[in-house]
Amino acid sequence: MRNLKFVTISYLCSMNIKPIAYFHSPLTSKFGLPRQSGLADDLVGRIVLEPEYRREEAVRGLEQFDYLWLIWEFSGNPHEQQGLTVRPPRLGGNERVGVFASRSPFRPNRLGLSCVYINKVEMTEKDGPVIYVKGADLMDGTPIYDIKPYVTYADSHPEARSGFVDNTKWEPLKVVLPKEMAQLFSEEEQAGLKQVLAQDPRPRYHDDAERVYGMPFAGRDVRFRVSDGVLTVIEIQTES
């Protein structure tokens, strides 16, 4: 048994993983990313496989599933994990819990896990099979290390406890997006943008009604204020 354990540890230590795909999204910055997958379920993104996997057989049968698990890297977080506790936004950014009792991006291996809805799989001449998904919490350019189908009998546990999440109330913001600004985006982009903004992109400890925030989305900078549970978009700028 000792020898088997040694071989297993040696194999894991030498395992070398590389991206099998990259994610493409209207969200090009960490600021504004949904804090969990599924919170902005109208937000559309694309999974583009690396060249060696751009073949129909790599995704054969995928159209029979509704959801995917994505294993990916917190590539927008270059900082190494410090300590064994983190401050989840759901707890206001002030209370600490163990890193392994959270989904914080500040982790020993910076690996993320997300469940996303498969919108469609489209064969393209340039990129092979492209997987369109909804509800992802990944920023543009995120490397993906594996894709696995979601299966209800094994993955669904509706009666499970959810720790501190069960005991903290969360209300989305009301979003005011003036019509003349909304017209700068497609209908699909508008739906995703509103859901992202409703999740309140601000750091949890910010509560200044006069402060203007900016968030990149679909090639534009969305400027907004938040007051009394209402987020109002005040300007849309074209990113330089």
Residue 82 has pLDDT above 90, yes or no: no
Q: How far apart are CA 139 and CA 45, in angstroms?
A: 9
C-alpha torsion sign, points 230, 37, 117, 21: positive
Please report which confidence band the pLDDT of residue 5 belongs to, taking 50, 70 and 90 as the band edges: low
Fold observed for domain 16-75+110-160: Elongation Factor Tu (Ef-tu); domain 3 (2.40.30)
Q: How far apart are CA 174 and CA 214, in angstroms?
A: 17
Higher pLDDT, 235 or 208: 235
Residue 2 has pLDDT above 80, yes or no: no
Are the beta carbons of 35 and 199 closer than 8 angstroms? Answer: yes
Q: How far apart are CA 129 and CA 122, in angstroms?
A: 5
Domain borders along the chain are: 16-75+110-160, 168-238
Tokens of 192: 């995703």
pLDDT per residue over 131-182, tens digit each?
999 999 999 999 999 999 999 999 999 999 999 888 888 889 999 999 999 9
For residues 227, 230, 236 and 240, what is the CA-based torsion angle, rounded to 10 degrees?
Answer: 60
3-state secondary structure of 187: helix
pLDDT over 70 percentage in the chain: 94
Are the beta carbons of 158 and 78 closer than 8 angstroms? Answer: no
Residue 12 has pLDDT above 60, yes or no: no
Are the beta carbons of 103 and 91 closer than 8 angstroms? Answer: no
Q: How far apart are CA 25 and CA 45, in angstroms?
A: 5
Q: How far apart are CA 134 and CA 111, in angstroms?
A: 20
Closest CA to 222 of 24, 23, 77, 29: 29
| CATH 3.40.50 holds for 168-238 | no
For residues 90, 103, 77 and 201, what is the CA-based torsion angle, rounded to 10 degrees?
Answer: -30
- Give me the pLDDT at residue 240, please: 64
Residues 75-97 have a mean pLDDT of 84
Closest CA to 147 of 67, 221, 231: 67
Residues 6 or more apart from 82 whose CB is under 8 A from it?
106
